[in-house]
Amino acid sequence: MLLSVLKVVPKQGATLIPRLMSTKTSSIEQPLRIAYFGSDRFSLLSLGKLLDYQKLNPNRILSIDVITRSKKKSGRKLKNLTDVPIGHYAEDHSMVIHRADTASDILGLSESQQYDLAIAVSYGILIPAKFLKSLRYGGLNVHPSLLPKYSGSSPIQYALMNDDLFSGVTVQTLHPTKFDRGDIVSQSDEIPISNDDNYTSMEEKLGNIGADLLVKTIENELFLPPIDSPRNNYPHSLASKMSSSSSEINWSLTTSRQIKRLLDALGSVHTYVSKYSKSGSFEESLKVILYDIEEVSSCNDLSMKLPGDSEVVDGKLFIKTIDGYISTPKLKLQYCNEESIPEFIPRIPKRLRSTEKNLKFHAFETI
């Protein structure tokens, strides 16, 4: 059972469930048949807690079917099939799985299956209005932000990139035509974001709290109308989908702290160095990926003056920012494997045809 490996810290603020077995008399006539839409680790945490609750309360939940994306071909010559985390979990627990990649696929389920409630967590596809209308109780969503702040697909990333002091989780109804515009059913307290938090730790932290909120919502039947939405003063903002350019460092505008938080949010950041032709003219920009960064406020041994300038000290690469420095012990140059700085530096003349002792990092350039 997944419950045994989930760590929930009460002081983080959410109202937790002290026990999973229900003693409350239900106003629902029959146990719920749930269609659970999910994909990633965040959605898996809610599914695990919901499955534990069902096992102890079969009078509340009759069945949970998992609806997720199709397996994708991967690897050399696309010979392997890769599944999403929730697909692996559902198979390991012998759950009923349906694969749905489009709205049409979802509508097809309503023709062959009967459900009372839909729960969508990090699914990425808008559940069609026609499907929601086929359900006795509509749908619910677990969203990792304090809505209406950070509606959209990337709330955890935006909270980290903006260096927010706290985040939270919201359980809302599923709107028939728009993402994150449903009625707020339940909301956690403000959950502190620590200096050491990154996407992985926040996903786990908020995922556990969201799972408890979801069970609380089912336990107390908070999804039944009329819904008494809690009031808050959070302004509406959009956390739109991350693009490939989101991780690029703008050295002339970005502080050391902002670069570190960008890394925390996305797992890696990138910049560019120039490669030259044999005649010494600019040939192309090569991407450089950084995975491990530390903020350095000051260092007497460094003489860099302009953002993007770099020096090597004690096996680490130091790069100037607009307010200080960052350092990294390794990097990955385009077309090359990840390397430590002592491995990378001697290979610069051959790879970049550069005679400069220290690299200059910059935004993307073309001829």
pLDDT digit string (tens) for 195-250?
999 999 999 999 999 999 999 999 999 999 998 888 888 999 999 999 999 999 99
Digit-coded pLDDT (tens) for 277-333: 988 899 999 999 999 999 997 777 788 889 999 999 999 999 999 999 999 999 999
pTM: 0.89
- pLDDT above 90 as % of the chain: 79
Residue 302 CA from chain centroid, whole number: 36
**Residue 363: band (very low, low, confident or very high) from pLDDT cuts 50, 70, 90:** confident
Question: What is the C-alpha separation between 247 and 324, in angstroms, rounded?
Answer: 20
Q: What is the pLDDT of residue 6?
A: 32
User: Left (φ > 0), alpha (ψ -120 to 50) or beta: where does 139 sit?
Assistant: beta
CA angle, 337 as apex, 335 and 342 as ends, to 5°?
115
Q: Are 136 and 116 in contact, with CB atoms under 8 Å apart?
A: yes
Q: What is the pLDDT of residue 366?
A: 59
Q: What is the pLDDT of residue 145?
A: 98
Q: Is the pLDDT of residue 141 over 90?
A: yes
Q: What is the pLDDT of residue 111?
A: 87
Q: Are 36 and 67 in contact, with CB atoms under 8 Å apart?
A: yes
Fold for domain 2-219? Rossmann fold (3.40.50)
**Residue 25: band (very low, low, confident or very high) from pLDDT cuts 50, 70, 90:** low
Task: Out of 8-22, 158-172, 183-197, pick the least confident.
Answer: 8-22
- pLDDT above 70 as % of the chain: 92
Give the chain's radius of gyration (CA, Å): 24
Domain segments of the chain: what residues? 2-219, 256-352
Question: What is the C-alpha separation between 318 and 313, in angstroms, rounded?
Answer: 7
Share the mean pLDDT of the chain: 90
Task: Out of 26-30, 247-251, 335-339, pick the least confident.
Answer: 26-30
Task: Out of 63-77, 131-145, 164-178, 179-193, pick the least confident.
Answer: 63-77
Q: Is the pLDDT of residue 23 over 50?
A: yes
Who's near 23: CB < 8 A, 6+ residues apart?
none
Q: What is the pLDDT of residue 301?
A: 77
Q: Is the pLDDT of residue 336 over 60?
A: yes
Helices marked H in 230-340 — which ranges? 256-266
Q: What is the pLDDT of residue 57?
A: 95
- CATH class for the region spanning 256-352: alpha beta
Hey, do 2-219 and 256-352 end up sharing a CATH topology, with the first three levels equal?
Answer: no
What pairing do the DSSP bridges indicate for beta strands 330-333 and 338-340? Answer: antiparallel
**Residue 73: band (very low, low, confident or very high) from pLDDT cuts 50, 70, 90:** confident
DSSP helix/strand/coil, 306: coil
Q: Is the pLDDT of residue 162 over 80?
A: yes
**Residue 257: band (very low, low, confident or very high) from pLDDT cuts 50, 70, 90:** very high
Q: Is the pLDDT of residue 365 over 90?
A: no
Q: What is the pLDDT of residue 5?
A: 31
Who's near 262: CB < 8 A, 6+ residues apart?
161, 247, 249, 254, 269
Q: What is the pLDDT of residue 16?
A: 41
Who's near 240: CB < 8 A, 6+ residues apart?
152, 153, 154
Digit-coded pLDDT (tens) for 36-65: 999 999 999 999 999 999 999 999 999 999
